[in-house]
A and B are shown apart, each in its own frame.
Chain A
Amino acid sequence: MMDSGLLLVATLAFPLAMVVACLHPAFYARILTWLPLAAVPGLLAALFERGDSIVIAPAPLRLTLALDEVGAMLLGGASLLWGAAGFYASISMCGRPGAGRFAIWWLLTLTGSLGVFIVADMTSFYLVFSLASLAAYGLVSFEGTARAQRAGFVYMALALLGEALILLGFVMLVTAAPGGNPLIRDAVAMLPDSPLESPAVLLLILGFGLKMGLLPLHVWMPLAHPVAPVPASAVLSGVIVKAGVIGLIRFLPLEVPSPDWGMALVGLGLITAFYGVLVGLTQSHAKTILAYSTVSQMGVVAAIIGGGMTTGAPHTAVLAAFYALHHLLVKGALFLGVGIAGATGRRHYVSFVLIPMALLSLSLAGLPFTSGALAKLATKPLFGDGVSALLASLSAAGSTMLMLHFLGRLQLLANDDHEGIPQRPLMLVWAVVAGASFIVPWALFANVSGYALADAIQPDALWAASWPILLGATLTLITTRFISRMPTVPEGDIIVVLDKLAPLVMRIGSGIDRTDEVLRRWPVASIGLLSLAIAFGTVLQFGR
């Protein structure tokens, strides 16, 4: 074991140091080659530093890093994906104009997104959360096309809204806890006694839900995730959304049973899960379908957290993190796979792309023996036996339909060159992520869920995992022709309604401009000064 906590510091300090080193032109020119290394300290920390913590600055600043089981799982998975995607980017982005700029945004986003898993105090959490949120803008809008700019704009607007909601939620949390910058767990422990509990919980759910893409604040996700370059899409959809998950896990009082909030979250999550599937089915771009799948899956995670919250189940955090880890790796591999599919010709398509992609896709729906089956099995108890459990299973059927639709769309991307095969290193790194998405959950399963590995291959479990997939497949067969005739819902669905409001907003804006012009006329302003003086004097005299 290393000296306590140093690797945690390095997790954040190393990528930041790389950013600073970019001031040197020689390093800046070769930054892409170094990109895969940025996440190495994070991976090492996840392996060797579990349970450690380090106080970077003592009270009253109290900047603290700590790695618990939940953080370690997500940190490990995230670092792995960041490293792999970094490697992918170092090859695929090579020689593209603006690659240096891309690398800097990449490193900043990486720092923030790994940071959220290891910080233990509130201010640092807000810091790294904002860093991840805002720096990701650079990745979203990197391509510079009109589509990317619009996505970047919507992303930024909603990210800022999320920041504001979370900040207010934090302030309400902190007012319950004494001292300048409390540790997250101390502040959360005080929450149930606070008079501001309800608004604080609501704001936190809204703020983190926005990051996870919960309805109706999901609109940025189908716009932002597909427009970025492939490796950036992979980390955006794989890792960045988990900042919302870890936020809910860390900041909601999960150990205290709170049926109202729990059921609300379950409801919101399940609605999002089905909504993501439904809208996703009408999409035609493979990456957009994946983004809607992320919306849907994050709905499931929210429902898991909500289910645990309802009863105050003890392992909710770990189980939700386990499900998130499964989604993180699988979704990362799927996005990288889209890049691979684009480079592969018809000849090798089935063996190189279709089979692995099909396995990965159906893993999201809980195909037996995949990580998805394990994740669903592990989190099942949280839903109880009622309607929500059934709906959760049905959402897996929905996922099956969505992912089959995705596979159908994916083959349209195949390379025109019949013999084309992707570059070998790209294949390799893809294989690593895909492999990890199968192996890592198996390795952790027994530890996390309390089940034995054998439980996962019991006939009961297999059937529970299989029937939604069979149902989904059957439904797909029945509805194929119907779906292909459905009108396409625009990417970002309800954002289109907001677009209609744009002229109104512009009118209000120019109205404010005109008001300002009037207010700045000399007579208006000086009469304003006089009346203000009279009003203020009057209030001072009589307004007590």
Chain B
Amino acid sequence: MIGTATVYGLCASGLVAIGLYGLVLHPTPLRKVIAFNLLGSGTFVLFGVAARRGGAAGFLADPVPQAMVITGIVVAFASTALAVALLLRLQETGASSIETTPPEQQDNGAS
């Protein structure tokens, strides 16, 4: 018999796994950003599991992890926004990957 917490836990690890896979192996930066969001979602689900466990201990539901998830979502949103802004800027300069050219070849970088 699998408890609800276990199901959620498995979901969380599945999301984390997919997110990690994308973040590590997808070459395009935009996909990496999306993969990061999946990874983040997995983590938040894990917090949900923790809250649920707290509920099992006698509380109705533990409020602290929920507050953390909300904060976490805001943080993840902010990082996504920053990453996308940088991506746009990168596109403007004509590059499409984050693998930098070897630094020796960059020149006349003054300051």
**Which residue of chain A has its CB nearest to the CB of B25?**
A523
Are B102 and A530 in touch, CB under 8 angstroms? Answer: no
Pair A523/B24 contact, Cβ less than 8 Å: yes
- Are A522 and B102 in contact, CB atoms less than 8 angstroms apart? no
Interface string of A443-486 (1 = CB under 8 A from B): 00000000000000000000000000000000000000000000
Report if B107 contacts A (CB, 8 A).
no
A517 contacts the other chain (Cβ, under 8 Å)? yes
* Chain A residues closer than 8 Å to B92, beta-carbon distance: none
Contact B98 A530, beta carbon cutoff 8 Å = no
Residue contact B24 to A521, C-beta cutoff 8 Å: no
A423 within 8 A of B: no
| Residue B23 is within 8 A (CB to CB) of chain A in the complex | yes
Determine the distance from Cα of A523 to Cα of B102 in the docked complex, in whole angstroms.
16
CA distance A530 to B25 in the complex (A): 13
A2 within 8 A of B: no
CA distance A395 to B25 in the complex (A): 71
Given A526-B23, A527-B24, A530-B24, residue A521 in contact with residue B99 (CB < 8 A): yes
Output the least CB separation between B85 and chain A (Å): 20
Residues of A within 8 A of B99 (CB): 521-522
> How far does the Cβ of B42 sit from chain A's closest Cβ, in whole Å?
14
Decide if B20 touches A522 in the complex (CB within 8 Å). no
Give the shortest distance, in Å, between A421 (CB) and chain B (any CB): 56
Task: Please report the C-alpha to C-alpha distance between residue A523 and residue B99 in the assembled complex, in whole angstroms.
Answer: 10
Bound CA–CA A523/B98 (angstroms): 11
A407–B99 Cα gap in the complex (Å)? Answer: 66
- Cβ < 8 Å to A, chain B residues 21-64: 23-25
Tally A residues with Cβ within 8 Å of B.
7
Within the complex, what minimum Cβ distance (angstroms) separates A480 from chain B? 56
Within the complex, the shortest CB–CB distance from A513 to chain B, in Å, comes to: 9
* Neighbouring A residues of B102 by C-beta, 8 Å: 517
Interface positions, chain B 45-97, Cβ under 8 Å from A, are none
Nearest CB in chain B to that of A529: its residue: B24
Which residues of chain B come closer than 8 Å to A522, judged between CB atoms? 24, 98-99
Interface centre among A517, A521, A523 (most CB of B within 10 A): A523
Chain A's closest residue to B97 (CB) is A522
Q: Shortest beta-carbon distance, A375 to chain B, in Å?
A: 57
Measured between beta carbons, the chain B residues less than 8 angstroms from A517 are: 102
A250 to B14, CA, bound (A): 68
Bound: A526/B19 CA distance, A: 12
Tell me the complex Cα distance, A522–B24, Å.
7
CA distance A523 to B21 in the complex (A): 10
CB distance from A20 to the nearest CB of B (A): 31
A530 to B23, CA, bound (A): 11
Residues of B near A527 (CB, < 8 A) are: 24
Cα of A12 to Cα of B21 in the assembled complex, Å: 64
Cα-based distance from A527 to B102 in the complex (angstroms): 21
Give complex CA distance A526, B25 in Å. 9
Question: What are 12 A-B contacts with C-beta separation under 8 Å?
Answer: A517-B102, A521-B99, A522-B24, A522-B98, A522-B99, A523-B24, A523-B25, A526-B23, A526-B24, A527-B24, A530-B20, A530-B24
